[in-house]
Homo-oligomer: A and B are copies of this chain.
Amino acid sequence: MRKYARKMKRIYLDYAATTPAHPEVVKAMQSYYSNAFGNSSSIHSYGQETREAIEIARKKVAALINARSEEIIFTSGGTEADNLALKGIAYTSKDRGNHIITSSIEHHAVMETCDFLKEQGFRITCVPVDKYGLINPEDVKKAITDKTILISIMHANNEVGTIQPIAEIGKLAREADILFHTDAVQTVGHIPVDVNEIRADLLSTSAHKLYGPKGVGALYVRKGTKITSLLHGGEQENRRRAGTHNTPAIVGFGKAAELAQKELQHESKHLTSLRNKLINGLQKQVEHIYLNGHPTKRLPNNANIRVDFVEGEAMLLSLDLEGIAISTGSACSSSNLKPSHILTAIGLQPDQAHSSLRLSLGRETTEEDIGRVLEVLPQIIARLRAMSPLTKSSMQEKTNA
């Protein structure tokens, strides 16, 4: 099996983890390594040309989310954007209050930052989600106190793909005069995002999730919103994020944003159709398979399924031997062995969480790829279910048949 794996066509279905940089993105970056390599802080012509390239990229990133250029702070990625948003607002607003509202299904970059802020004396309220992973805006509203300085609710969840009602949350935050941050790392470039429509004051994004390069992201900060720096030092980014500009990556991000804006509409339709084919095909062939997350309010490319009685990493490994790359909610390799906090937050039992797979589609996914998964995955499930002590004997008979 393994022997052949090396020769077969590899199928990547983990676009939610990261995407390959678009060839045009790579091309756009090329000249900024060794040719137009100047430090954008330098006054001379080498600095001038990179400064210009950065500002063009900033315009493109701003355009993708309907922001103004000066509202974009380039960071080293989504994690830094989330850290900057939460810590930056917390430190700036600590005289006004010490209470932050977030949800139980945030990415680690938000969750762990909240844990850190808790140690620093801030109070964190985590609003729950329903079985689809949906937040109820009413719960957010109820959590507001006169000490609340920030509401941070992600746009769409990275694991189960559920899209939150953030326009409603943004509206109620605005009405209560509380800053609203959304981690839009999974949505920007994939579904329409308009900072004014959703009334976000801060919004995180990351280039490598939208066919841009790794190592660059952005925090949108609405004009007039004060924020304490996370990286102190030079005067870059209007003194809000120090550090020599990563010009090639920023240029690449700009190009990726430009391409995403053009292709977004078509792509989301295409991926939704392929994704549904995948989910329906699996459910037709295999019993005891369930979709995690919301059936319709979900990212176009996300299929997160629970395959009862089988551990996720064993499936992942088996698929990888067939050249198919996916991800799992199991954490049999992580340091604490606990399953994903997101899957338990939507009410899954630990074994169900350990049995969950995320298949996330992208630009290069084809009908044939989906066909191949529909051929290979049911066999893998059958094989592993036959080994599992959790498989009900009735179940087992069917699977073996």
Contacts and interface: CB of A to CB of B under 8 A. Distances in A.
A20 B43 contact: no
A19 to B, nearest CB: 7
A350 B79 CA distance: 41
Given A78-B243, A108-B242, A327-B42, A232 B113 contact: yes
A333 to B, nearest CB: 6
Interface string A21-62: 111011000000111011101111111000000000000000
Interface string A218-260: 0000000000011111110001001111111100000000000
Nearest to A35: B20
B233 A108 contact: yes
Given A76-B76, A76-B80, A214-B245, 5 more contacts: A21-B34, A76-B246, A214-B247, A214-B248, A230-B230
Number of copies of this chain that the complex holds: 2
Contacts of A206: 244
Contacts of A167: none
B44 A83 contact: no
Interface of A: 10, 12, 14, 17-23, 25-26, 33-35, 37-39, 41-47, 76-80, 82-83, 107-110, 112-113, 115-116, 206, 208, 213-216, 229-235, 239, 242-249, 313, 316-317, 319-320, 325-328, 333-335
Given A39-B17, A39-B18, A76-B76, A214 B46 contact: no
21 contacts: A17-B41, A17-B47, A38-B325, A42-B327, A44-B319, A44-B320, A44-B325, A45-B325, A46-B325, A76-B243, A79-B232, A109-B231, A112-B233, A113-B232, A206-B244, A208-B244, A214-B246, A214-B247, A214-B248, A214-B249, A246-B249
Nearest to A107: B233
A79 B18 contact: no
A18 B37 contact: yes
Contacts of A18: 37-39, 42, 244
A232 B112 contact: yes
